[in-house]
Amino acid sequence: MIKTTIPVIGLHRWPGAKGKVPFLKNVHRHIFYITVTVKVTDSDREVEYFTLQYDIALAVNLLFKQTVMGYNFNTLSCEQISEKIGCYLIKQKYNVYEVETSEDHESSSVVRYE
């Protein structure tokens, strides 16, 4: 397997936030780190890192609206962002194993395709 990560500045919010985190209802900014792991069968650059990074960035560009403050993920969770990017890459013929989306390298979700 190979794995690569790209940083993406983005905004989102969680309308259902309550308890100790009601502030998450408001739009807030993160540096999202999107990490994709792809299965390979060849140890000699079957999938090149730069090409995969380009395709992850392309997926973000095509799937989400960009604003001057970053990408607008609206009410999507990290899990939902991972799902959308994973589905896009699978359609591009990548053998995706998992997609991880983290907020500021602190908390993350992993969507696995097995």
Whole-Å CA distances, 54 to 7, 12, 26, 106: 12, 23, 31, 24
> What gap in Å lies between CA 77 and CA 80, rounded to an integer?
5
Q: What percent of the chain has pLDDT over 70?
A: 100
pLDDT tens readout for residues 41-60 = 998 989 999 999 999 999 99
pLDDT tens readout for residues 15-48 = 999 999 999 999 999 999 999 999 999 989 899 9
Greatest pairwise CA separation for the chain in angstroms: 50
Domains and CATH numbers, the chain: 2-112 (3.30.479.10)
Give the dihedral sign, CA 64/65/69/75.
negative
Amino acid at 37: T
The overall average pLDDT reported for the chain is 97
Q: Identify the H or E element spanning 70.
A: strand 70-72
Task: Provide the pLDDT for residue 114.
Answer: 84
- The answer to whether residue 101 scores a pLDDT higher than 90 is yes
Instruction: Scan for tokens 């299965």, then name that residue.
Output: 39
b (16+ CB within 10 A) / e for 45-82 = eebeeeebeebbeebbeeebeeeeebbebeebebebbb
pLDDT tens readout for residues 64-100 = 999 999 999 999 999 999 999 999 999 999 999 999 9
